Structure 1
């Protein structure tokens, strides 16, 4: 897959779990950054807040970034 997809998630996040399941169901590879388990979580949260994102999941693609469970956007990635 040429397009990198990053999912910023955290533990006990229902929409994060649903987003990852939908990406897997659509055969889309992604890198998960779980903010509950990374050393630089505060820096990442600050970066996401600067972009206007307050909640997880945040999904970052080559062309777009969004928050929440968005099966419509996931289908767009798949093409």
Structure 2
């Protein structure tokens, strides 16, 4: 079973968030979106636990995550599905 991918965003005004979600969807990669402006626990996880300060943050596993629009990483996870 494939792991659940979570995309932490700051809402519709975030162009990199929108682009990341669009490319994931285009490649048929399912994900759950969490808006860190609306979810304080999620924001704390992204900032405090993962150390990111820019959205989007894509989390595949505890060891596999990144921040920003990264088509190279999206291609990598797409080829593993």
The verdict on a shared fold, with TM-score over 0.5 as the criterion, is: yes
Q: How far did 1:77 drift? A: 0.5
**Counterpart of 1:52?**
51
Q: How far did 1:35 drift? A: 2.3
Return the alpha-carbon distance in structure 1 between the equivalents of residues 15 and 6 of structure 2. 17
Structure 1 runs of 4+ with >4 Å offset: none
The TM-score with structure 2 as length reference comes to 0.84
Q: How far did 1:48 drift? A: 1.2
**Counterpart of 2:75?**
75
Any gaps of 5 or more consecutive residues in structure 2? none
**Counterpart of 1:21?**
22
Any gaps of 5 or more consecutive residues in structure 1? none
Q: How far did 1:57 drift? A: 0.3
SS in 2 for 1:15: helix
Return the alpha-carbon distance in structure 1 between the equivalents of residues 35 and 47 of structure 2. 16
